[in-house]
Amino acid sequence: MSVRVTSHIAHIDNCIAGKASLSYFAPVRSVCQSSFQSHSERNNHKHGQEIMKAAAALIIYVMMMNVAGVCFGQDRDYESSEYQPIRFTAFGGAGLINQSYATHGSIQFGGDIGLIKVYDFNQFPSGAIFEFGYAGPANHFGSGSALISTNYVGELLASRHKRLTLLLTTGYSRLFGTGNAANFGGGVELFSKDLNHALRFEIRDYFRIAKKEHNIAIRLGYAICASR
């Protein structure tokens, strides 16, 4: 009987010692896990920054090529276009954002200045816009971000009467206080008869690569077209 009691006591002591050893190493394991997670997050952030820099360089290059074409008149088709090259647009809209692993309503508003050519479908469209505004959740305005964007934009004729065009755009966005993002979207523009004003209907998504966060909205804009 005493032998059995002694063996049970020894078994309990071993269990306690095992738990104690596990609890002893628990802080070490926690530190290793947090170090690995932080290293992975740093790598993802660095990779996201490299992608954003490459996208920004491409958009700036396209914008410079468009400015050079307008300033020096190297594009004859562009010279004879019925559309005014410079466009000022104010926009606003609402949609959804998956911020902090939860989906909320979102808002986007702001303006852009564009240098845009309108092409037929058998041509490759080129243009650029510089955008400024705000994007964030509708239920907590302060957690959103002011933003600036540089974008490539392509616009194609969608009707024989030249009043309806298709618009595609993508580029780099800097979200102040939040980080970097890629943005992309598309829509249509309906011009007035004199082609000096237009209404824009579009869908735009700001995608934060590091956080895998989308802010997508349906936007309505009003554009004023100006000559050089």
pLDDT per residue as tens digits for the range 108-121: 999 999 999 888 87
Count the residues in the chain.
Answer: 228
- The answer on pLDDT for 83 being more than 90 is no
Distances (CA, A) of 184 to 79, 114, 181: 29, 16, 10
Position 7 in a domain: no
- The answer on pLDDT for 68 being more than 50 is no
Long-range contacts of 75-82 (CB under 8 A, 24+ apart): 75/117, 78/117, 81/117, 81/118, 82/162, 82/195
Q: How confident is the model at residue 21 (pLDDT cuts 50, 70, 90)?
A: very low
CATH at residue 114: 2.40.160.20
- Report the DSSP beta bridge partners of residue 8: none
- The answer on pLDDT for 198 being more than 90 is yes
Position 85 in a domain: yes
Lowest mean pLDDT among 77-81, 95-99, 211-215: 77-81
Position 177 in a domain: yes
Position 165 in a domain: yes
- Pick 211 or 152 by higher pLDDT: 152
Q: Structural domain of residue 217, as residue ranges?
A: 50-226
Q: What is the pLDDT of residue 222?
A: 98
Q: What is the pLDDT of residue 121?
A: 79
Q: How far apart are CA 203 and CA 192, in angstroms?
A: 21
Position 168 in a domain: yes
Number of domains in the chain: 1
Position 130 in a domain: yes
- The answer on pLDDT for 59 being more than 60 is no
Gyration radius (Cα) of the chain, Å: 28
Position 42 in a domain: no
Position 24 in a domain: no
Q: How far apart are CA 14 and CA 141, in angstroms?
A: 57
Q: What is the pLDDT of residue 124?
A: 83
